[in-house]
Amino acid sequence: MSSFDWKSEVVVVTGASAGIGAALAREVGKRGGTTVVAARRAAALEDVARSTGSPSLAVVADVTRRDQVEALARAAIERFGHVDVWVNNAGRALTRPAIELTDDDVDLMIRDNVKSALYGMQAILPHFRARGRGHLINVSSMLGRVPFASFRAAYSAAKHALCSLTENVRMDLATELPEVKVACVYPGVVYTDFGTNAVGGGPDSRSLPGGQTAEEVATVMADAIASRAGGDVYTRPEALERVLAYYRGLA
């Protein structure tokens, strides 16, 4: 395992104009790392880049567009020479029970939560392969492990698909590129604009009990970067036991 020095780390974070992504960019900056922050809202993104306190490049990109994700990877490498960590954090929820879902609902959730991350992994992997190292981090959700919230059925299904895809990438790279780590992060409720941004409305995440702040989640994610964690990263200590208890109950 190679040694870790935040000063030489270049971390790309998608969905970094707000919420968890913005908090992660600030946490990485606070620790001395360089960030490349991406999202669609340019002004908010520039504010986040300035607030990191370390070198940071803002790149406007819609992660549902493969060409824009590829351009993001090129911009990061061109500016800083290399990328160490790529965090597919951008995502979006949709509120509708499974039985009422339309074709468009399902397509939207797969596009925003699965294809977006796939584009990211595929865009940066050639660079990681050439360097023989790197860290892919996909942000899923506890709803991507356990379908606790049936009103978020298509979102939950998409995040399950993202976990599965992430794990398959991890398995495929484990032998060929053991120094390319692949992790999936599972936040529970986080107090961000996520709920109010959900298609179809639904509860404001900030009104739900037992949540975490974006800063708490960012600290766990930055620790995962520093330890080059692969596999599953739960943002709360009790989360894995909740997942296991759910499946034990079904068995």
Ligand X SMILES: NC(=O)c1ccc[n+]([C@@H]2O[C@H](COP(=O)([O-])OP(=O)(O)OC[C@H]3O[C@@H](n4cnc5c(N)ncnc54)[C@H](OP(=O)(O)O)[C@@H]3O)[C@@H](O)[C@H]2O)c1
Q: State the catalytic residues.
A: 155
Going by the DSSP 8-state scheme, the letter that residue 212 receives in this structure is: B
- Cβ-contact 117, 163 below 8 angstroms: no
Q: Which is nearer to ligand X, 18 or 73 (CB)?
A: 18
End-to-end CA distance of the chain: 38
Of 134, 221, 215, the closest CA to residue 182 belongs to 134
187 scored as a contact of ligand X (CB under 6 A) = yes
Q: Does 202 bind ligand X (CB under 6 A)?
A: no
Task: Output 34 or 235, the one with its CB closest to ligand X.
Answer: 235
Contacts of 35 (CB under 8 A, 6+ apart): 10, 11, 12, 13, 16, 25, 28, 29, 49, 52, 54, 55, 56, 57
Least distance in angstroms from the C-beta of 225 to ligand X: 16
Shortest Cβ 38–ligand X spacing (Å): 6
**Burial group, residue 96, by CB count within 10 angstroms (0-12, 13-18, 19+):** buried
x-marked contacts with ligand X along 16-35 as a string, rule CB under 6 A? xxxxxx--------------
Spell out, one character per residue from 105 to 144, where the chain touches ligand X: x when CB under 6 A holds, - when not. Answer: -------x--------------------------x-x---
Tell me the per-residue interface mask from 208 to 247 with ligand X, x by CB under 6 A, - otherwise: ----------------------------------------
Phi, psi at residue 38, to the nearest 5°? -135, 140
Return d(Cα 238, Cα 157) in angstroms, integer: 22
Is residue 72 part of the contact set for ligand X (CB under 6 A)? Answer: no
- Residues at the contact surface with ligand X, assessed by CB under 6 A: 14-21, 39-41, 44, 61-64, 89-92, 112, 139, 141, 187, 189-190, 192-194, 197, 205
